[in-house]
Amino acid sequence: MLFVSLLFACKQNKKDAPATTATAGTSYTITGEVTGAAENDMVVMQLLGTEKSDTAYTRGSTFEFKGATAEPVMAQIYLPQQLKEKSRPLSLVVENANINIEAHVDSLHKGMVAGGVANTDYNTLKKVLASFDNGIEPIVAKAQQAQGQNDFASLQMLQQDYIRKVEERQEGIVQYVREHPTSIAAAYFVYQDLVPEQKITLIETAFKAFDPSIAQHLYVQKIKAALDVTRLSAIGQPAPELALTTPEGKKVALSSLKGKYVLVDFWASWCQPCRQENPNVVAAFNKYKNKGFTVLGVSLDENKAAWKQAIAKDGLTWPHVSDLQGWSSPAAQQYGVQAIPANFLLDKQGVIIAKNLREEALHNTLEEVLK
């Protein structure tokens, strides 16, 4: 669903600390046969949620990975020379067991994985997720067509359909956790799919449902850390202070805007969904700026010239700040932002009263609070 992420939101590429060292005396052997692979093709295995990876080379159409892991970890296997839309990576769980893979080079993601308790669980979860993804894929196809035709009206309608389907999928993941509280694969999908969207109620429900036996697992600990950050920027909480620099070099503090309703808007010049949403924010700003409303644009750009050019081109006449650190921005980390556009609506006292308002939702909320 990478295209959808780029189409409707720009997400952070997660690069986290390596997993813990493997326990002595345990190991895994992953043996794969990829029909259509050439002799000596490179095969990469990336451990998700870590910076660890491994490489192997095919002998004929087969490859093998050997190693050990302290705990089961989700992974993707792919052939870089064959990586394309019809040959997406194969997902599996790396665990200390004998694991067998059978796949075709042109449809690697559809390959069969057998071996290990965690992979058996993941195969069950995949069927659950497929029931939701089958409803999402036609929307994505229509959205691609609408984007190619610059049909933004249809694109906005499709976005709403997409959001509803994704929410159903997210609720399905949480339900799976309730029914399979020791599922490492489910923990990964909570971390990967729910955390970036700051679905705090769903995340908390899933977190509480995990069995104590996996409380120290890599993904569960990451979920806990994300919850701690997200709670600081939850609705009803005072907005964390920001004091960043404008394109002209002036320092602006968020607290200096108290007394107005403020939309703290995280965006970037390189984020196409952000740029598509900007006209909507412009319309809201122009409509309500004389009623005690303003916007503070917080950019995740690294290129100052591109940032300034986007501000001018999109007609963004409200205050703008940035530390030009991209995804490494402490401001984004303070607010738990892992996907943009993201915004936080503050009342006159600087308390967060709404989050991630887009399209009509932004106008409807402002109409209500500023009436």
Per-residue pLDDT tens for 308-362?
Answer: 999 999 999 999 999 999 999 999 989 988 889 999 999 999 999 999 998 889 9
pLDDT at site 53:
94
Read off the pLDDT of each residue in 24-52 and give the average, rounded to a whole number. 90
Residue in the block written with tokens 């780029």: 6
On the 0-12 / 13-18 / 19+ scale of CB atoms within 10 A, 299 is buried
pLDDT at site 171:
95
Cβ contacts of residue 43 below 8 Å, gap of 6+? 32, 34, 55, 56, 57, 58, 63, 77, 78, 79
Structure tokens at 208: 């509480």
11 forms bridges with which residues in the sheet? 339
Nearest residue to 350 (alpha-carbon basis) of 248, 226, 237: 237
Q: The whole model's pTM is what? A: 0.71
pLDDT digits (tens, 9 = 90+) for 228-265: 888 888 899 999 999 999 999 999 999 999 999 999 99
CA distance 115 to 330: 42
Q: What's the pLDDT band for 168 if we cut at 50, 70, 90?
A: very high
Expressed in percent and rounded to 5, the helix, strand and coil fractions of the chain are 45, 25, 30
Average pLDDT, the chain: 90
Nearest residue to 111 (alpha-carbon basis) of 133, 126, 97: 126
Q: Please determine, for residue 21, whether its predicted confidence score (pLDDT) is greater than 60.
A: no
**Whether residue 72 has a cis bond before it, omega within 30° of 0:** no
Q: What's the pLDDT band for 199 if we cut at 50, 70, 90?
A: confident
pLDDT at site 157:
86
pLDDT digits (tens, 9 = 90+) for 93-125: 999 999 999 999 989 999 999 999 999 999 999
Q: What's the pLDDT band for 9 if we cut at 50, 70, 90?
A: low
Please give the share of the chain, as a percent, with pLDDT higher than 90.
Answer: 72
Could you give all domains of the chain from N- to C-terminal order, each with its CATH number? 2-115 (2.60.40.10), 119-232 (no CATH), 243-369 (3.40.30.10)
Q: What's the pLDDT band for 26 if we cut at 50, 70, 90?
A: confident
